[in-house]
Amino acid sequence: MSRFSCAGPPVYRDGVDGGPRRDLLSGVGDPDDRGEPDVALTAALAAYADMPDARTEAAVLAALGGARLLVPVVAALGEAETDPDGLVRDKSADMAAVLMRGRDGRTALLAFTGLESMRRWDPDARPVPVPAHVAAQAALQDGAAALLLDVAGPVAYAASVSVSAE
């Protein structure tokens, strides 16, 4: 797994650690964004898939630094109730970013290069367009060790995230 650093300390949410809340995944993208993948990042990922070496991996990380990613949010059941007939209904739901746990126990925040790759994973997920460095900060905020790009293809790639020493 490659390292993708973001500047500054991780930002925490209220209710998690009592610190100040900053909603990183609030959709800071371009209003004209149509969900197309970043051309440079797509090309770098394809080159890495063809020949995974230090050179192609460095190209992926360089392209990732300037890319817009789509972080999926999905509905998560908050509370349920059972009616008199025994039917269970949603009482409340929250929207949540998605973390996956790897075989090694580490977690990664899912992110996608474009709408097509995100819909391949879950057609009902809602895209939140953010710069890659904001996705990395959100991953750290949620306790994740990595960004997992395009988990359903065409080229899945995991980049570990950390706070840079700057």
Alpha-carbon distance of 22 to 27, in angstroms, equals: 13
Dump pLDDT digits (tens) for 3-28. 444 433 333 222 233 333 344 455 55
Hey, is 107 helix, strand or coil? strand
Please report, in angstroms and rounded to a whole number, the separation of the first and last CA atoms in the chain: 22
**Residue-level pLDDT at 88:** 74
Dump pLDDT digits (tens) for 54-69. 999 999 999 999 999 9
pTM check: above 0.85:
no
**Mean pLDDT of all residues belonging to the chain:** 79
Q: Angle at which helices 54-65 and 39-50 pack, to 10 degrees? A: 160
Q: In b/e form, how buried is each residue of 77-91, taking b as 16+ CB within 10 angstroms?
A: eeeeeeeeeeeeeee
Length of the chain counted residue by residue: 166
Alpha-carbon distance of 118 to 86, in angstroms, equals: 36
Dump pLDDT digits (tens) for 61-106. 999 999 999 999 887 666 767 778 887 776 666 667 888 888 888 8
**Residue-level pLDDT at 58:** 95
Would you say 149 and 45 are in contact if contact means Cβ atoms under 8 Å apart? yes
**Chain CA centroid to CA 56, Å:** 22
**Chain CA centroid to CA 79, Å:** 25
**Residue-level pLDDT at 94:** 66
Alpha-carbon distance of 150 to 148, in angstroms, equals: 7
Residue type for position 35 = G
Would you say 6 and 137 are in contact if contact means Cβ atoms under 8 Å apart? yes
Tokens 């109730």 identify what position? 81
Which has more confidence, 130 or 29? 130
